[in-house]
Amino acid sequence: MQNPEALLNELFERTFHTKPLGIHPLDASGSGSGRKYFRISSVNHTVIGAYSEDRKENEAFIGITRHFLSKSFAVPQIYAEDLDKNIYLLEDLGDETLYDFLSGHRNGMVEFSSELLDIYQKALDGLLDIQTEGGKGLDYNLCYPRAAFDAQSIHWDLNYFKYYFLKLAKIPFNEQLLENDFNTLCNYLLQADHSYFLYRDFQSRNIMLKNNNIYFIDYQGGRKGALQYDVASLLYDGKAGIPQSVREELVNYYVHRLSLRNRQAADTFMDYYYPFVFIRIMQAMGSYGFRGFYEKKTHFLQSIPYALDNLKWLIENVKLKIEIPTLWNLFSKLIDSPNLKQFAQPKLTVSIYSFSFRGQHPQDNSGNGGGYVFDCRCLPNPGRYDEFKTHNGTDPEVINFLNEKTEIAIYFEHVKRIVDMAVENYISRSFRNLSISFGCTGGQHRSVYFANRLAQYLQSRYDINIELTHLMQKEWIR
């Protein structure tokens, strides 16, 4: 049996009538799915190749995408497909997700700039288009595993939380009393209007930013459902850490925009919003438990403290119109659980440096004595071109120059694999410091570019502290 890379290379060649120059796996270990993605490139084409053995899910994605494209929604183009071989080719929307942008443009957990707020508002505008117009003319029989977010779907999410989070986290509960509350919550949620398209996984990692535009991906779990679920998914996206005041501002913005289309839907939106917030958080915690406790992917467990912080605010500030006492008390147990508090231990600090091999080399002041030094001198050098001599690796001109080089992409993929292995091992062993350095000839272009790019990548993936230092920064000032 051929491997995914070989199958995708063949499909690329059949589609574009040229052999690809390279195929590079895209990191998906932070994802909750079994799909594999690859970037495939030739002289004139760069695409994303996808492989998944779930035929029904592939059919759902392809069918929904074509429907969305017919409505001019901002989703990736489909260039080719061979579902008998579990593969398809998509438009390459780059590497920057909304979560990456969020991580790279915030100062701590409080600051939320006007630029970020504007992007989130645009994302909500796009979501509202998809929710209200996306279902019109859609064959919901495409949807997988169910055509609607109905009682069965709701109970699947609740049981996911019960069996993969509560059980594996060793949280005691009365199963019958908990089932009673699950039924109460489910019955209430089903009273909301479920006639819209429900995206299902509308969170910051599934929103791409490219050329100042927003694109949407990973809606293959979409189905008919209520408006509130997707808004809750975005605004209570755990590690995004959106301040509560900003959440309230954004939900008010969404309701206002909804009111311009459907006054009645806007008037009743908040009646069901927070119950959907709760079920979305429980579904996410089920995923953390399954991937973290069961599959031993420890970085998923680092999201637990964020979910608990959200639960703490909710039970202290939200009054529901239904009584779910067992579930409510269970949330309090989770917040105070010593077994879960361990995941909020002091974080790993990764110190990232750029430097010149001709100048000062990084010094490890942590006492750890470990880490990596990556030599970037084997890569294309912007400093050899007059137009880049007064620029550095933080400037868009240099970034664009390096992004276009195949060698840069290959090099960074190798760096990520090495660093991911170290970071995950250090986190699992409660290490506190890791040093990573990038050196080039002048410490101005390549090393700076890679240091910045790695810092952004690690911050988007792990709950760690990043210390970024450019040792030659003073030399950039002319």
What does the pLDDT average to over 192-206? Answer: 97
pLDDT band, residue 124 (cuts 50/70/90): very high
477 has pLDDT over 60? no
Question: Among 3-7, 159-163, 357-361, which stretch is predicted with the lowest mean pLDDT?
Answer: 357-361
Query: pTM for the whole thing?
Result: 0.75
Q: What is the percent of the chain with per-residue pLDDT over 90, rounded to a whole number? A: 78
Mean pLDDT score of the chain, rounded to an integer?
Answer: 92
Q: What is the pLDDT at residue 108?
A: 40
Q: Could you give the domains of the chain?
A: 4-91 (3.30.200), 98-344 (3.90.1200.10), 349-476 (no CATH)
Q: Across residues 24-44, what is the average pLDDT?
A: 81
Confidence of residue 123 (pLDDT cuts 50, 70, 90): very high
Residue 83 has pLDDT above 50, yes or no: yes
Angle at 203 between CA 147 and CA 34, to 5 degrees: 65
Q: Is the pLDDT at 417 greater than 90, yes or no?
A: yes
Q: How confident is the model at residue 297 (pLDDT cuts 50, 70, 90)?
A: confident
Q: Which whole number is the average pLDDT over 437-465?
A: 93
Q: What is the pLDDT of residue 359?
A: 85
Using pLDDT thresholds of 50, 70 and 90, give the confidence band for residue 32.
low
Residue 107 pLDDT: 40
- Region 383-412: mean pLDDT is 93
- The string of pLDDT tens digits covering residues 129-176 is 999 999 999 999 999 999 999 999 999 999 999 999 999 999 999 999
pLDDT for 109 beyond 50: no
Q: What is the pLDDT of residue 343?
A: 78
Model confidence at 50: pLDDT above 70 = yes
Q: Could you tell me how far CA 70 lies from the centroid of its own chain?
A: 26
| Packing angle of the helix pair 244-259, 227-235 (nearest 10 deg) | 150
Neighbours of 96 (CB within 10 A): 15
Is residue 478 predicted with pLDDT exceeding 80?
A: no
Is the pLDDT at 246 greater than 70? The verdict is yes
